[in-house]
Amino acid sequence: MRGTVLRAQSGFFWVQTEAGVLECKLRGRLKKERQSSDIAVIGDEVEVTRVSPREGAIEAVSPRRTRLSRRAAGSRGLWKEDVLVANVDQVLLVFACANPPFTPRMLDRYLAIVELSNLPTLIVANKTDLVGDDQAHAMFAAYERIGYEVIYTSPKTGAGIASLRDHLAGRISVVTGKSGVGKSSLLNAVQPGLSLATGDVSATLNKGRHTTTVAELHPLSLPGGGYVADTPGIREIGLWRFPAEELAWCYREFRPVLDACYFASCTHTHEPECGVRAAVERGEISAERYESYVKLLAEL
């Protein structure tokens, strides 16, 4: 049977099939194959053989249409790909306006990864009740100017929840962001029956406690259905095998001027006749976003 992985934990996979949800394990031959990333993750389309009324075995995993990944530390100083979710239609990047404080550089890091994956992106500015609407819009205005859609939300006041529901309906979406920004509270506001775990933000470290411990696709009772993936909070997302020469393209406001550079291999940091730096000087590209690019490029 064909199926979709809804949940993955400790080598067990819960797969939605025509016969219902089956608890599955991977066939031994799949685990023996050399893998540069996770064999199966939530969102994967798989082939399953039923071995009992409620259990099955995953025989094969179909190629992924899309993937959202981060770089994770492996053994002996090596790195491996940690695939968060496969085959999604859009990524919702949730950032709090306060508690924890908004960090534009972290948002830029997420955006670069999503842009490289060619995944549609929606920025969710959460906890607007803590700062007020005017300040919230001012914090994210730079991203709206370069074409990103931003939804301003507050589970406490209900602001933006209806708009969020409309964006989730009929789609497979992944919700990600740092711990403590309110991802689970938002999903509970969209559909109370999800009953996802929520937690307070640590007052001492001002970093969120990890309340979501298992990645899972949750079915939505919305017009057209849909699924949403709630993923364990990410305090620092790694740029997995990120090609440094493509970073500039992932800053979407850079794209119109990339062909204006004199050198085809321009890094946009020191070369003469650079179209990007000229655009910064003209005010067409914000100095803050350019500085973010330079720092990320140095990291790569």
Angle between helix axes 161-168 and 183-190 (nearest 10 degrees) is: 80
pTM of the model: 0.82
Cα angle 283, 285, 291 (rounded to 5 degrees) comes to 110
Fold of 244-299: Ribonucleotide Reductase Protein R1; domain 1 (1.10.40)
Element spanning 65, H or E: none
Going through 210-253 in order, the beta strands assigned E by DSSP cover 216-219, 227-230
Cis link prior to 256 (omega < 30° from 0)?
no
Residue 207: other Cβ atoms inside 10 A: 14
Residue 190 tokens read as 């969209």
Fold of 2-61: OB fold (Dihydrolipoamide Acetyltransferase, E2P) (2.40.50)
Show pLDDT as tens, one digit a residue, over the chain (300 residues).
Answer: 999 999 998 889 999 999 999 999 999 888 777 566 689 999 999 999 999 999 999 999 999 999 887 766 666 667 777 788 899 999 999 999 999 999 999 999 999 989 988 899 999 999 999 999 999 999 999 999 999 999 999 999 999 999 999 999 999 998 888 888 998 899 899 998 775 655 554 444 344 444 445 778 888 999 888 899 866 544 446 676 788 999 999 999 999 999 999 999 999 999 999 999 999 999 999 999 999 999 999 988
Q: Which residue intervals of 77-191 are DSSP H helices?
A: 104-116, 133-145, 161-168, 183-190
In this structure, which CATH number among 3.10.20.340, 3.40.50.300, 3.40.1030.10, 3.40.50.1220 belongs to the domain 84-230?
3.40.50.300
